[in-house]
Amino acid sequence: MYSGAAAVAAAGSPRRDFISVTLGPEETVGVGGYNNSKAWRRRSCWRKWKQLSRLQRSIILFLFAFLAVCGVISYTSMGETWKSITNKSLDDQRTEQEIPRLKLANPGLLPAPQKADASHGDYAELSLQKPPKPPHVRRGPSNLQIKAPWRDTKLKTRHDTMRAVEELVEADKVEKTEKSIISWRGAVIEPDQSTEPPSSKITEPEKPSSVEAEDQKEPVPINERQLAVIEAFRHAWKGYKDFAWGHDELKPLSKSYSEWFGLGLTLIDALDTMWILGLKEEFEEARKWVANDLVFDKNVDVNLFESTIRILGGLLSTYHLSGDSLFLEKAKDIGNRLMPAFKTPSKIPYSDVNIGRGTAHPPRWTSDSTVAEVTSIQLEFRELSRLTGDEKFRKAVDEVMKHVHILSGKNDGLVPMFINTNSGQFTHLGVYTLGARADSYYEYLLKQWIQGGKKENELLEDYMRAIEGVKKHLLQRSEPKKLTFVGELAHGHFSAKMDHLVCFLPGTLALGAHNGLAADHMKLAETLIETCYQMYAQVETGLSPEIVHFNLHAQKGHKDVEIKPADRHNLLRPETVESLFYMYRFTGDKKYQDWGWEILQNFNRYTRVPTGGYTSINNVQNPSNPEPRDKMESFFLGETLKYMFLLFSDDIDLINLDKYVFNTEAHPLPIWVPA
């Protein structure tokens, strides 16, 4: 090193005179007047220094040392002052934005005899923030790449926002939280509980995608309506935690629980909602349960479809959002245990699997499976193959789609409701609906096509043909408001019956139009979502029944919507809110947010149980006694509240629809990177 320095000095580098002090001999090598005169000045100083007495030299050295120490001290304290000034002004800004949220109410309102007004009801005291620009205005070029994890800046902003929310609600817990390591979007993973990123076995495409966009852009603050959703979620979660922890569903009135599969269904369904809402403590607690108590090696029969969309889907999306391989390991486990369902003569899967024994069977009374069930498990199994590199999952579900693609018995793309697991043929021919037993067949045609990068033409063909079938056979208009609705066809006879389940359709049509499909799909979506909204607005509680019948002929004093006594229950279903979310994302029209806000308030009025949780109700037509059913379905946390939160958001990167596709249980899965 020294010899190199000397060589640099010899070559006339600007650093040469410094080096010459260290290495005395170089003085003689230096050239040019400037160096010579500097050397002369140095020599004369040295001589003067030598002439001083030892005492004088000591005093001078002491003074130099003293000045140096003072300099260092004052520099450090100025830095601290500057930092505290900066922090204070940031804190001030944050406080200004977030203090109003302190006012969040906690309305325990069951039963609540008053009719909802169309404005802000229980949350009227919350001043709504100025509306930001509609999301469609801010949309940049679409980008199908799955992005790298969050950047630090955004992470801090999200964390700060959520921390402020928690300070307001649960100030005492904040200190503990801050000691934890903050993973992304508010979830906290303690060092000893965090798991490795995806295992090395996993090849390139299956890295967790993380919901965060890569673009550096201004963070969009959480608004009052979103905070109301967070509050509702917390209330629901409180009931689940207090009375049903680790069980499938909360029974909020009897303060107990019900089991379906015995797999903590609500907890798993709610994981990614907690992540998206930024509920880090709740997420962390639930994660611990998944790590320590979720066991699939159980002698229990589960429904293939329900456990795929809720459990497998929930675990996969939570894996993608959190990057925590615990969830992928659990997803692999349940995925493998569900595979026996496909061992049938036709390869159309059985409805039920015993996940402990590895056996599968159809329901006791038939060898049929439901068409929607066997064709709405594809997004999840295909993604599991992509993540694990094991093609068996994808092959099994692709075969079902290929088989159904060429099957006879369709009517202009519309499928019957049942399919036989022995023959592989449709059964109960002649009945066509977009409601129960067929609904998500149509949804998954489009969504698989999107998931796979819009290359699988057979899926698109089947989807487009089916929508033409809907237009030709199932659309009618009601009286007096002339609402366009989707009815049913039974052996050539049209029925003006529409399930609330059909309200997934406007959202799906809008998603198709967003992905370049016919513009008239968007027009149809706009008319259908109005109808779905009216299914709430025309009812006494402002909540939709399970099924409505539309009036085809004007009659004095009759509304468009008629409700039969057997159909007037509400199970806290998500479909209308789901479609409102898509419609708002793609149009930026605030009326969709306002409609969703009305619905949330009516859930709070008529289904909220003061001691924690929300309940299904038996009678949406009786505001003074909606007849609580004592059950909170897992999809209320998995879907309804998640779509509410997303609907009220103006951040298109909060689950960007060019990067994620939602499964039918509202669990976002990544759109694969196009080739």
Measured from the CB atom, the residue of 214 and 306 that comes closer to ligand DMJ is: 306
Measured from the CB atom, the residue of 227 and 486 that comes closer to ligand DMJ is: 486
Q: How far is CA 90 from CA 95, 167, 542, in A?
A: 9, 16, 43
Measured from the CB atom, the residue of 388 and 508 that comes closer to ligand DMJ is: 508
Nearest distance, CB of residue 130 and ligand DMJ, angstroms: 34
Measured from the CB atom, the residue of 158 and 500 that comes closer to ligand DMJ is: 500
Number of Cβ within 10 Å of residue 104's Cβ equals 19
d(CA 27, CA 37): 11
With CB under 6 A as the contact rule, the residue among 573, 631, 642, 659 that binds ligand DMJ is 573
Helix (H) or strand (E) holding 547: strand 547-550
Measured from the CB atom, the residue of 426 and 636 that comes closer to ligand DMJ is: 636
Q: Is 212 a catalytic residue?
A: no
Nearest distance, CB of residue 663 and ligand DMJ, angstroms: 9
- Residue 555 CB burial class (10 angstroms; 0-12, 13-18, ≥19): exposed
b/e for 210-249, b at 16 or more Cβ within 10 A? bbbbeeeeeebbbbbbbbbbbbbbbbbbbbbbebbbbbbb
Nearest distance, CB of residue 278 and ligand DMJ, angstroms: 23
Token pair of 334, please? 């349940």
Angle (deg, nearest 10), helices 171-178 and 280-293: 60
Nearest distance, CB of residue 574 and ligand DMJ, angstroms: 6
Alpha-helical runs (H) found in 389-499: 392-406, 439-451, 457-469
Amino acid at 312: L
Nearest distance, CB of residue 348 and ligand DMJ, angstroms: 19
End-to-end Cα, the chain, rounded Å:
51
Nearest distance, CB of residue 508 and ligand DMJ, angstroms: 11
Measured from the CB atom, the residue of 186 and 574 that comes closer to ligand DMJ is: 574
The reply, when asked if residue 664 is annotated as ligand binding, is yes
Does residue 668 touch ligand DMJ according to CB under 6 A? Answer: no
Tally the C-alpha atoms within 13 A of residue 613's C-alpha that lie toward its C-beta: 29
> Pairing between strand 249-251 and 426-427?
unpaired
Q: Which residue number is nearest to ligand DMJ in terms of Cβ?
A: 664
Site size for ligand DMJ (CB under 6 A): 8
- Tokens 């001078």 belong to which residue? 60
Q: How far is CA 462 from CA 411, 465, 466, 524, 647, in A?
A: 12, 5, 6, 18, 29
Nearest distance, CB of residue 571 and ligand DMJ, angstroms: 7
d(CA 476, CA 599): 25
With CB under 6 A as the contact rule, the residue among 350, 586, 635, 636 that binds ligand DMJ is 635
Q: Which of residues 479-508 bind ligand DMJ (CB under 6 A)?
A: 501
Q: Is 627 a catalytic residue?
A: no
Q: Which of residues 638-667 bind ligand DMJ (CB under 6 A)?
A: 639, 664-665
Measured from the CB atom, the residue of 575 and 650 that comes closer to ligand DMJ is: 575
Token pair of 505, please? 């359709």
Token pair of 174, please? 């904040």
Q: Is 575 a catalytic residue?
A: yes
Q: How far is CA 253 from CA 523, 540, 605, 609, in A?
A: 43, 23, 15, 7
With CB under 6 A as the contact rule, the residue among 239, 349, 507, 574 that binds ligand DMJ is 574
Longest Cα–Cα distance in the chain:
120
DSSP state of 659: T
DSSP string, 121-184: GGGTTSPPPPPPPPHHHH------SPPPSPPHHHHHHHHHHHHHHHHHH-HHHHHHHHTSPB-G
Report yes or no: 651 and 217 within 8 Å, Cβ to Cβ: no
Q: Point out the catalytic residue in the list 248, 373, 575, 633.
A: 575
Q: Point out the catalytic residue in the list 306, 333, 390, 630.
A: 306
Measured from the CB atom, the residue of 536 and 635 that comes closer to ligand DMJ is: 635
Q: Point out the catalytic residue in the list 224, 284, 368, 439.
A: 439
Q: Is 190 a catalytic residue?
A: no
Q: Which of residues 594-613 bind ligand DMJ (CB under 6 A)?
A: none
Nearest distance, CB of residue 259 and ligand DMJ, angstroms: 17
Amino acid at 547: I
C-alpha closest to that of 296 among 261, 272, 258: 261
Q: Which of residues 390-449 bind ligand DMJ (CB under 6 A)?
A: 440
C-alpha closest to that of 318 among 353, 342, 294: 294
Contacts of 109 (CB under 8 A, 6+ apart): 122, 604, 605, 606, 608, 610
Nearest distance, CB of residue 635 and ligand DMJ, angstroms: 4
Sign, CA torsion 88/90/92/94: negative
Measured from the CB atom, the residue of 163 and 667 that comes closer to ligand DMJ is: 667
Q: Point out the catalytic residue in the list 324, 488, 499, 546.
A: 546
Contacts of 3 (CB under 8 A, 6+ apart): none
Measured from the CB atom, the residue of 560 and 639 that comes closer to ligand DMJ is: 639
Site string for ligand DMJ, 228-267 (x = CB under 6 A): ----------------------------------------
Nearest distance, CB of residue 603 and ligand DMJ, angstroms: 14
Annotated binding site: 664
Residues that constitute the known binding site for Ca(2+): 664
User: Which residues belong to the active site?
Assistant: 306, 439, 546, 575
Interface with ligand DMJ by CB under 6 A: which residues?
Answer: 440, 501, 573-574, 635, 639, 664-665
